[in-house]
Structure 1
Amino acid sequence: MMNNLFSIFDPSTNIFNLSLNWLSTFIGLMFIPTSFWLIPNRHFFFWNFINNKLNNEFKTLLKNNKFKGSTFIFISLFFFILFNNFLGLFPYIFTSTSHLNMSLSFSLTLWLSFMIYGWINNTQNMFIHMIPQGTPNILMPFMVLIETISNIIRPGTLAVRLTANMIAGHLILTLLSNTGINMPNYLIIILVFIQILLIILESAVAIIQAYVISVLSTLYSSEVN
């Protein structure tokens, strides 16, 4: 029972001795509209509307960032996570974002990039962030320790937040579906209705988690400028 339950998160499942599960990460490329390069239509305008909204919001969060176009990396991160979260809701498609080795890879890479850039180019600004304004002298060593720890665990919290939310929803859906085998017909109808509501909830979680990760990454990058 437990092996069957958690096998949906097993990346080692293979076909012809080839581990093809991680290829699901690239299926999101199929969602890039081909009409993006052709005559503009509703699909193009909807895609462009989302891009513009995200770009304006990330520019506000980045404040006076001197690097033009730096918002595009966070827009790309948003769509990358969004596609992978949504694809995991389809049957027989591996959810790569439910694994720490995927979510920790991009969160740790971004965090290390911000830290290396900040400490090399804006050392004084990085030290200022260690001690909040108005902190009493006696509390300064403790504040430095607390801020350092909170800074170090940032990539871990980003990764765990995404992974935990993806795993939790999938486990609930799997557990409920396994209980439907021994149910009478009138209860199966209720179960299907509950499953539909959970799928809608999971779709919302997929969007929210992609947005939260990209916004938090933007906020972390704004601190090093």
Structure 2
Amino acid sequence: MSMSLFSMFDPSIPTLPFPLNWMSTFLGLLMIPLMFWFIPSRLIMLWNDTNKNLHHEFRLLLNKNPGATSIFIPLFLFILFNNFLGLFPYIFTSSSHMSMTMSLALPLWLSFMIFGWFTNTNHMFGHLMPQGTPPALMPFMVCIESISNIIRPGTLAIRLAANMIAGHLLLTLLGSTGPYLSTLPMNLLMLTQIALLCLEFAVAIIQAYVFTILITLYASDVN
């Protein structure tokens, strides 16, 4: 039962002679560029307003390097796009898999750490010792801060993947009971599924925002 329950999150299941699960990651290349060939529309204005708001939000966290928002805005939109695609039936949610989330979190965190330790070593050492720490607790604080820094990419990847899996798994479990229910429980189940789907829309936005904000905060720590 557990194998069939979690099989929807396995990217190795082929639907044709070749696997198509990861195809959802590249669907945006077929849809998004079309809007740039037309005169400005509400969709383009919404897109521009979104970019401006995100740039303003991330710039507050990157006072010394406001141009770095050009990295984090596409990251936010990329995660958001993949989260939304997973809400459609029979589309694999690539952001629910650890190989996807870790490949986003680990290279970014590692690049920030390498840049910080090579260009601003004293500042990075200062982060290991919070100001006002008693001398007796200094060795323990260094260990705690070092461990908390090392596990950052793992917590980022697990947070995004777990939140995307949890909602989809709950929808799957509730939907699997539908054929065995009578009319009244079926109607209640449908209303519950609709409410959960609306919640998943919110989770898709929030998790993309949280992932990007935390990466931005990690980048601001190295300056």
> TM-score per shorter chain, which class?
over 0.9
Per the alignment, do residues 54 and 31 of structure 1 end up closer, same or farther by CA in structure 2, a change over 3 Å counting? farther
Tell me the CA shift for residue 16 of structure 1.
Answer: 4.0
Q: 1:128 to 1:173 in 2, by over 3 A?
A: same
What is the deviation of 1:31? 4.4
CA shift, 1:2, in A, is: 2.9
> What do residues 200-220 of structure 1 show as CA deviations (whole Å, max 9, x unaligned)?
000000000000000000000
| Structure-2 residue corresponding to 1:147 | 145
> Which of 106, 111, 114 lines up with 1:116 in the alignment?
114
Post-superposition offset of 1:184: 0.3
Matched position secondary structure for 2:107: helix
Q: Does 1:29 align with 2:36?
A: no
**Equivalent residues in 2 for 1:57-206 (5 A)?**
57-65=57-65, 69-206=67-204
**1:11-67 deviations in Å (ceiling 9; x for gaps):** 1111443122112111133442523343211111100001000001111101212xx
Corresponding residue for 1:3? 3
Identity within the alignment, %: 61
TM-score calculated relative to the size of structure 1: 0.95
Is contact 1:84–1:97 with CA below 8 Å preserved after alignment?
yes
1:136: Cα distance to partner?
1.6
In 2, Cα distance between equivalents of 1:28 and 1:132: 44
Q: Match for 2:172: what amino acid?
A: T
**How far off is 1:4 after superposition?**
2.8
Contact 1:33-1:44 at 8 Å conserved across structures: no
Structure 2 segments unaligned to the other structure (5+ residues)? none
SS in 2 for 1:69: helix
Task: State the 1:103 CA deviation.
Answer: 0.2
Determine the structure 2 residue equivalent to 1:38. 38
TM-score relative to the length of structure 2: 0.96
Runs of 4+ deviating beyond 4 Å: none
Distance 1:47 1:171 in 2: 31
The one-letter code sitting in structure 1 at the alignment partner of 2:46 is F
Q: Which amino acid aligns with 2:100?
A: M
C-alpha separation between the residues in 2 aligned to 1:161 and 1:3? 22
Q: Distance in 2 between matches of 1:31 and 1:206?
A: 19
- SS across alignment from 1:70: helix
Aligned residues: 223
Paired residue secondary structure (2:88): coil
RMSD across aligned C-alpha pairs, in angstroms?
1.3
The alpha-carbon deviation at position 183 of structure 1 amounts to: 0.3
Q: Which segment drifts farther, 14-23 or 166-175?
A: 14-23
